[in-house]
Amino acid sequence: MLKTIQERLAMLSADVRLVSAREAREELAANGGALIDVREPVENSESPVPTALLIPRGLLEMKATEQFKDPDRPLYLHCGTGVRAQLAAEQLTVMGYTRVAAITDGIKDVQTAFTDDANA
């Protein structure tokens, strides 16, 4: 039986931590983690978040182990709406990363939270 995206999100592991963009920004300032944009390059070019590392969801599992050798480093994932970030966070958790969080806010809120003016 096929599942809707809402049903799939409801089935996510309890290990997937959900945070707002503001919470992620505050935590990143203190913990040395990484902000990862799991959108496609064209989406990133249309509405970039300059402090985020672009690793599209389709490449994340392959690139994560190259980019993030420490499985305990905090990783914060964002996308356009929070849906892909949640699905990607689940995959990283399955891979063994222990401190993964999905930002559930939309891209405008992520941009606002991670703009230099908002952090001043």
Please give the domain boundaries of the chain with CATH numbers for all domains: 5-119 (3.40.250.10)
pLDDT at residue 33 tops 70? yes
Helix axes 57-67, 83-95, angle to 10 degrees: 40
Mean of all residue pLDDT scores within the chain: 92
- DSSP secondary structure letter of residue 120: -
Mean pLDDT to the nearest integer, 36-52: 96
Compute the distance between CA of residue 47 and CA of residue 71 in angstroms, rounded to an integer. Answer: 29
Phi and psi at 8, nearest 5°, equal: -65, -45
Mean pLDDT to the nearest integer, 43-63: 95
pLDDT band, residue 10 (cuts 50/70/90): confident
By CB neighbour count within 10 A (0-12 exposed, 13-18 middle, 19+ buried), where does 120 fall?
Answer: exposed
Compute the distance between CA of residue 50 and CA of residue 4 in angstroms, rounded to an integer. Answer: 32
Mean pLDDT to the nearest integer, 47-76: 96
Mean pLDDT to the nearest integer, 42-64: 95
Residue in 29, 23, 73, 81 with CA at minimum distance from that of residue 51: 29
- DSSP secondary structure letter of residue 45: H
pLDDT of 6 reads: 81
Check residues 13 and 43 and name the one with the higher pLDDT.
43
* Type of residue numbered 94: V
- DSSP secondary structure letter of residue 115: S
